[in-house]
Amino acid sequence: MDAGLEKIFEGILDGNANLVVAEVQKALDAGMGPADILNQGMIAAMGEVGRLFEEGEYFVPEMLIAARAMQKGLELLKPYLTEADVQSPGKVAIGTVKGDLHDIGKNLVAMMLEGAAFEVIDLGTDVSPERFIQAVNENGAQIIAMSALLTTTMPNMKNTIEALKEAGLRDKVKVMIGGAPVTQNYADQIGADGFAEDASRAVAKARSLLAA
Ligand code: B1M
C-alpha cells in the first residue's frame, strides 16, 4: 500500500482523527484520487476495525473512536466527491433504520448522492417507519433510502415498506436499501425496488430508479 494511504489506514485503526485529516489533506495535495483515498485507505480500515472487533481485540470504544476519525476524514473529502453543474435528478430521504445507530455508510451514500446533485433529506439514525412516511408526505421524497448494519435491524426495512403500503404511498415512492448485511436477495424478498452494494452504486441505482 502507498505510504500515505497506510498512514490513513493506521490513523483510523488508532482513532487518531488529527492524523487522518492531515494525511487525507496530504494525499489530496499530492494529487491522489479521492476514490482511492476513500476505498483503499478509509473503507479498508473500517473493515479491519470490524475484523478486530469480531476477534475480541477491539471493543465498542475502539470502534467508536475509529468511526469518529473516519467521519473527520470524510468531511474533508466531501467536496472532492462532488460533480459540478449537474441538474438535480430528484429527492431522496435517507436514514439508518430504527434500532440502528451505524451512520458512516449512510453518510457516505448521502454524500455521494449530494455529489451527484440529488436533493438529500438526511433523517439520521434510528429512523422509524413513521418518520420515513413523513418525509414522503411532507418533503416530497421520491426515493426512500434505508441503511442497516445489524442483522437484527434489517427487518425494520420490511416494516417500513409495509408501513408505506398501509399509508397508501407504496406506488408513489421508490425504495432502495443497502448496508453490510443487506443483499439483492433480501431486497427481492421484502419487495424493495433496489439494492446497492456501495455508495457509488447507490448513486447509479437511484438514477435508474427515477428513470424507470
Ligand atoms: Co457496530 N457492528 N455495533 N458499531 N460496527 C458492526 C456492523 C459488526 C458487523 C461488527 C462485527 O461484529 N464484526 C456488528 C454487527 C453484527 C451483526 O449484526 N451480525 C456490530 C455490532 C454487533 C455492534 C453493536 C451491537 C456492538 C455492541 O454494542 N455490543 C452496537 C450496535 C449499536 C446500534 O446500532 N444499536 C455497535 C456499535 C457500533 C459503534 C457505535 C461503536 C460504531 C458505529 C459508529 C457510527 O456509525 N457512527 C460501530 C462500527 C464502526 C462498526 C463497524 C466496525 C464498521 C461499520 C462501518 O462504518 N463501516 C462494523 C464492522 C463492519 O462493517 N465490518 C460494525 C464502513 C462503512 C463505509 O461501510 O456501513 O457497510 P458500511 O457502508 C457501505 C455499504 O454497506 C453501502 O455503502 C457503504 C460503502 O460505500 N451502504 C449502502 C450502506 N448503507 C447503504 C444504503 C444504500 C446503499 C448502500 O442504499 C440506501
Same domain, 122 and 183: yes
Output the furthest CA–CA distance in the chain (Å, rounded): 54
Same domain, 57 and 102: no
Residue 82 pLDDT exceeds 80: no
> How many domains is the chain built from?
2
Instruction: Please give the C-alpha separations between residue 100 and each of 47, 128, 154, in angstroms, as whole numbers.
Output: 18, 10, 9
Q: What is the mean pLDDT of residues 72-77?
A: 93
CA dist., res. 197 & res. 183, Å (int): 8
CA dist., res. 4 & res. 160, Å (int): 42
Residue 85 pLDDT exceeds 70: no
Same domain, 66 and 136: no
Q: Please answer whether residues 24 and 37 qualify as being in contact, where contact means their C-beta atoms are separated by less than 8 angstroms.
A: yes
Same domain, 50 and 102: no
Same domain, 113 and 203: yes
Q: Which pLDDT belongs to residue 111?
A: 87
Q: State pLDDT tens for residues 101-149.
A: 999 999 989 988 988 889 999 999 999 999 999 999 999 999 999 999 9
| Sign of the alpha-carbon torsion through 14, 18, 22, 24 | positive
Same domain, 100 and 76: no
Q: State pLDDT tens for residues 179-206.
A: 999 999 999 999 999 999 999 899 999 9
Q: Is the CB of 53 under 6 A from ligand 1?
A: yes
- Answer yes or no: pTM beyond 0.85: yes
Nearest CA to ligand 1 atom 77: 198
Nearest CA to ligand 1 atom 75: 179
Q: Is the CB of 123 under 6 A from ligand 1?
A: no
Q: How confident is the model at residue 78 (pLDDT cuts 50, 70, 90)?
A: confident
Q: How far is the CA of 149 from the centre of ligand 1 (A)?
A: 5
Residue (of 71, 73, 58) closest to 19 by Cα position: 73
Q: Which of 83, 99, 133 is the last residue of a domain?
A: 83
- In which domain, by residue range, is 152 found? 91-211
Q: Euclidean distance between the first and final Cα of the chain, in Å? A: 41
Round the average pLDDT of the chain to a whole number and report it.
Answer: 94
Q: Which of 33, 56, 83 is the last residue of a domain?
A: 83
Name residues whose C-beta falls within 8 Å of residue 112's C-beta, 6 or more positions apart in sequence.
Answer: 81, 199, 200, 202, 203
Q: How far is the CA of 19 from the centre of ligand 1 (A)?
A: 23
Q: How far is the CA of 144 from the centre of ligand 1 (A)?
A: 20
Residue (of 187, 208, 189, 211) closest to 197 by Cα position: 187
Q: What is the mean pLDDT of residues 44-50?
A: 92
Q: Is the CB of 12 under 6 A from ligand 1?
A: no
Same domain, 105 and 183: yes
Nearest CA to ligand 1 atom 68: 105
